């Protein structure tokens, strides 16, 4: 349902994206796209999506800044060693994220070495190192050879009063000194105002203007404790965008404490951000961060934006990072989860088997996932017939009815009906049929 937004002169929210229907239906209806890539697809859409991450008819190119190795590594209970960090970094580089925030060089030797090693090994992504405004932090990031020195300081009243114990003027002075020092090393400087969404907007704009004047051509607007709403995030990014020169690039960095990180990231893009900061699977402190695979898929399939990400790798990277972190992904994980394209209910299965676009918002193949037809007590005749055909059986009306009865009787107890179970039921059906025929002949 669409609602007029307050103060928007009747503008509808959420935005209507007319190309979404065109993109999805074109891919689903032209089946050769999946079978033969660009050679078999008259539009070449699938090959374009999977090879370069672009979306057909897409607009602005959005920068993808991955902070799995820094913010994600701060997830409680997670301790990655150097080799694990390097393995994930290689995956991210192959995935074609634009920037890998490899660590906080001043915080540990592992982070320092991670930044330096990834900088030397990465063939696609640029490498960022985090730094507070202290000279020691900035010097460490520069010594680690980071392409981008990511300088941050808090700007909310609560942080300035209780954590920094600094005045507004002192915060601006510290930010400017840090940017100037980092610029002195010849590195690109990214400046983040920590807790931006709880900061006074006018003061926040003043801080960003000051660091831009000092040479920071790249800023980040973090929702540090996840308290922003999409409409606030869009407004704030738009406000900051208008307060800064056009050449200043803007990222948004959203935390998931209220489950809004992905929505807030998209709202930030709608407000004028040209980059998103994300982690694989949303890994991070407390409730986590905006999930890379969800944000990227939504940018492509819902907003018609482009990224450099290789969409077809999303599921593999999601699963590999979860394995290295030692975290079990929930089956209903959007985009890359086991159930993201799984269907059991009879009405859904019938629709998907007729045209996948009826119950799938994007082609599973485009994000490296696959469709699964699951049998259970909610299954209908179409699902059973499909499963039987996939196993090489002729789905006669009587056989399908027999399997449906078995499902309704046993599925709640079995929880999972696999091919072995289905095979056994088919054998039972034919054994019973043979007995009936034998009894009729004997009579």
Q: Please give the Cα distance from 170 to 245 (Å, whole number).
A: 24
Burial per residue of 320-342, b for 16 or more beta-carbon CB atoms within 10 angstroms, e otherwise: ebbebbeeebeeebbbbbbebbb
Q: Helices (DSSP H) in 82-200: which residue ranges?
A: 82-95, 109-121, 135-143, 157-159, 168-184
Residue 34 pLDDT exceeds 70 = no
At a CB cut-off of 8 Å and minimum separation 6, what does 36 contact? none
For the cut 80, the answer to whether the pLDDT of residue 200 exceeds it is: yes
Calpha distance 232→239 (Å, rounded): 10
Distance (Å, rounded) from C-alpha 155 to C-alpha 376? 53
At residue 414, the pLDDT reads: 65
Q: Which of 25-34, 269-278, 360-369 has the lowest mean pLDDT?
A: 25-34
**pLDDT, average across residues 335-353:** 80
Strand partners, 192: 152, 220
Question: What is the secondary structure of 57-107 as a DSSP string?
Answer: T--SBPEEEE-TTTTGGGSTT----HHHHHHHHHHHHHHT-SEEEEE-TTT
Measured CA to CA, the distance from residue 18 to residue 318 in angstroms comes to 29
- Model pLDDT, residue 18: 36
8 Å CB contact between 199 and 193: yes
pLDDT in tens, 280-308: 999 999 999 999 999 999 999 999 999 99
Q: Coil, strand or helix: which one is 409?
A: helix
Distance CA 76, CA 34 (A): 40
Closest CA to 289 of 63, 93, 70: 70
The Cα 242–Cα 413 span in angstroms is 60
Judge whether 306 and 48 are in contact, CB under 8 Å.
Answer: no
- Tell me how far apart the alpha carbons of residues 187 and 141 are, in angstroms, rounded to a whole number: 10
Q: DSSP state, 255? A: B
- Residues 5-23 pLDDT 10s: 333 433 333 333 333 344 4
CA distances from 374 to 203, 238, 291, 346, 419 (A): 54, 45, 26, 10, 10
Residues 80-112 pLDDT 10s:
999 999 999 999 999 999 999 999 999 999 999
User: What SS3 state is found at 275?
Assistant: strand
Instruction: Read off the pLDDT of residues 381-419 as tens digits, 9 standing for 90 and up.
Output: 887 787 788 778 888 888 888 888 887 887 777 676 766
What are phi and psi for residue 2, nearest 5 degrees?
A: -105, 140
pLDDT of residue 385: 83
Measured CA to CA, the distance from residue 28 to residue 357 in angstroms comes to 7
For a pLDDT cut of 70, what percent of the chain falls above it?
A: 83
What domains can be seen in the chain, in order of their start residue? 56-325 (3.20.20.70), 342-437 (no CATH)
């Amino acid at each position: 349902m669409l609602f007029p937004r307050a103060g928007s002169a009747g503008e509808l929210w959420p935005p209507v994206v007319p190309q979404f229907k065109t993109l999805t239906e074109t891919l689903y209806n032209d089946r050769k796209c999946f079978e033969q890539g660009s050679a078999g697809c008259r539009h070449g859409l699938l090959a374009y999506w999977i090879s370069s991450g672009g979306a057909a008819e897409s607009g602005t190119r959005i920068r993808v800044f991955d902070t799995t190795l820094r913010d994600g590594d701060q997830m409680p209970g997670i301790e990655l060693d150097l080799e694990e960090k390097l393995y994930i970094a290689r995956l991210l580089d192959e995935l074609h994220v634009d920037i890998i925030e490899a660590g906080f060089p001043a915080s540990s030797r592992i982070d320092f070495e991670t930044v330096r090693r990834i900088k030397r090994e990465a063939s696609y992504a640029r490498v960022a190192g985090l730094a507070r405004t202290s000279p020691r932090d900035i010097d460490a990031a520069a010594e680690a050879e980071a392409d981008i020195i990511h300088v941050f300081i808090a700007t909310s009243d609560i942080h300035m009063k209780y954590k920094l114990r600094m005045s507004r003027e002192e915060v601006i002075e510290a930010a400017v000194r840090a940017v100037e020092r980092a610029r002195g090393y010849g590195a690109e400087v990214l400046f983040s105002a920590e807790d931006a969404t709880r900061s006074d907007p006018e003061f926040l704009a003043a801080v960003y203007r000051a660091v831009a004047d000092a040479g920071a051509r790249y800023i980040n607007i973090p929702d540090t404790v996840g308290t922003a709403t999409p409409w606030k995030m869009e407004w704030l990014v738009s406000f900051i965008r208008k307060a800064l020169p056009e050449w200043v690039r803007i990222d948004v960095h959203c935390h998931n404490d209220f489950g809004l990180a992905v929505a807030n990231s998209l709202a930030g893009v709608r407000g004028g951000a040209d980059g998103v900061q994300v982690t694989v699977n949303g890994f991070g402190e407390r409730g986590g961060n905006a999930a890379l695979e969800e944000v990227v898929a939504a940018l492509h399939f819902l907003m018609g934006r482009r990224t450099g990400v290789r969409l077809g790798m999303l599921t593999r990277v999601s699963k590999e990072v979860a394995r290295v972190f030692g975290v079990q992904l929930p089956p209903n994980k959007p985009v890359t989860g086991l159930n993201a394209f799984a269907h059991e209910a009879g009405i859904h299965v019938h629709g998907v088997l007729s045209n996948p676009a009826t119950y799938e918002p994007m082609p599973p193949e485009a994000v490296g996932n696959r469709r699964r037809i699951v049998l259970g007590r909610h299954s209908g005749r179409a699902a059973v017939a499909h499963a039987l055909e996939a196993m090489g059986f002729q789905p006669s009306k009587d056989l399908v009815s027999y399997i449906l009865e078995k499902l309704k009787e046993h599925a709640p107890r079995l929880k999972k009906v696999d091919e072995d179970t289905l095979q056994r039921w088919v054998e039972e059906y034919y054994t019973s049929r043979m007995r009936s025929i034998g009894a009729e002949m004997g009579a």
